[in-house]
Structure 1
Amino acid sequence: MTDAQTLRVAVRIPETDGDVFVFCGGLFHSQHRLQAGIARTLQLEAPKRLAAVQREPLLASGFAPEVWRVIFGRYTVEWGGVQTFGRPLRPPQTHEQPRTKWLAYGSSITHGMYNQPMTYIQQAARHLGLDVYNCGLSGSCLCEREVADFLAARNDWQVALLELGVNMRDRFTLEQFREATGYLLDQLVRKHPAKPIFLITIYPNFATYYESDITDKDRQFNEILREHVSRRNHPHLHLIEGEQVLDDFSGLSVDLVHPGEYGHMRMAHNLASHMRTVLAGYPDL
């Protein structure tokens, strides 16, 4: 958060080329392509029109326009600092950002891969007025105990969403899947007994319309997720069927696993609608 008219952000991506997206509050500012191993200093100019218009419409995203948001993608980042040329620099205060923080854990579908920063998670967060911590892990999301313990130990979120299973079907038996996902749910519920936790079954994919061993695995994994919610009968554990979110199969890209741009938009709308209905029962959020 700064009122500086010019600021410089020093960053480096050591391993791969990648894009950096910059926002002023909820407003897109600029996109920058970084080359692997080359340090860059991004010079950012505060848009002059923001100071000329009424302030209230600029707050619709939940973020004040003076909150500079630098969003990275699927790569490691080395942060070199921010230069504001003598102007104050501080973290945003409560009234300058969405009050409710949303923790999302899932596969590359949730992480968004090449759809940053317009993934269905980020778009749904915008619909709901939430600030999302996207902890999606491309090629992973295996519900390791260490990850489960880490997510459960965090106290910086009020809403959680779990998209589980698609990356586990080639590596886990049914019992291993039941144990790993059950441990994650138990840890989250035990450490955060009053917070809403959403569990999503596997999104429709190529196996949904192609009979194979993976098709059976998807069905069985989904049934295990449903059983987790049913058996725990916890008032704050909520199941959402993946087909209710990705309800248009043509929203996928040609690999028939990852959503395309239209798919992310449609999923965001559907997910936000389902979550909004549930979150209406939590007036403090």
Structure 2
Amino acid sequence: MGKNGQVGQALQQSLAALGHIVAVDRQRCDLGDPQTVLATLDAEQPDIIVNAAAYTDVDRAETEPELAMKINAHGPRLLAKEAEASGAMLIHYSTDYVFKGDKDAPYVETDSTAPQSSYGRSKLAGEEAVAQESSRYLLLRTSWVHSGIGKNFVKTILRLAQNQAALKVVADQIGAPTSAAMIAHVTADLISFCQKYAMAGLLPNQKIPYGCYHLTALGQTSWHAYACLILDLARQAGMVLKASPETVTPIPTAAYPLPAARPANSRLDTTKLRHAFGVSLDQWQDGVQQTIAQLAR
């Protein structure tokens, strides 16, 4: 679900080798419309449901909290109920916005949640719904997602840099830019892990380590340093821009007010995921380089 989004498009490539997949968009399966969800599941009878659909307009959610809740919480609850009834596994993506963002270290899965925005509250409600309704789920929290398609920070910085010689970017929020391609690749690895043990009988199905995990690239940066790397890589790739890393000024969050509060600390500890499934994660810079290369073609 959500086949046209950043993660949805990447998933279609990564999951293709695992078997027959059916990718659906909002026109066919709208998480805000229960009837289309039920009709799609009834028609396809999936063994695995991967939900990459969500309401992601963080600032607009402040004026549309009911819609955000319908898509990010009520929709996933229905998916989880139907998955549980049919015996399907559900993979659902969430966000660093479920945390307050004031911790001095990376957040682990068991840390207390305290979303500071309507978007964050809707995503947390979706997490809780999935955990309540399904026993076979993987809930993957990620952050700062980027790719060569859709709306994201990489594309925004490049667009601004084409028209402006100098930029101002927030420097007191930190996190790990994470490529949609890596998210999709790791998702495929998780599915393969679960299929291997379930089919081989080496591990009883109920022993598969279902639950909540953090999935981000390794390392950390600020939005300001992130923007500087984007411009540096773009320059190396031959893109013609007015702005350069040297003309990006760091500013505090207070100097760039937005309708929705952002976590100052978006770092997510990925130790649990790496140990449970043996997956490898990219450094955040590698993913950015790949996205720039994609955009420079």
So what's the TM-score if we normalise by structure 2? Answer: 0.42
Structure of greater relative contact order (alpha carbons < 8 Å, 6+ residues apart) = 2
Higher strand share: 1
So what's the TM-score if we normalise by structure 1? Answer: 0.44
Which one has a bigger Cα radius of gyration?
1
Higher helix share: 2
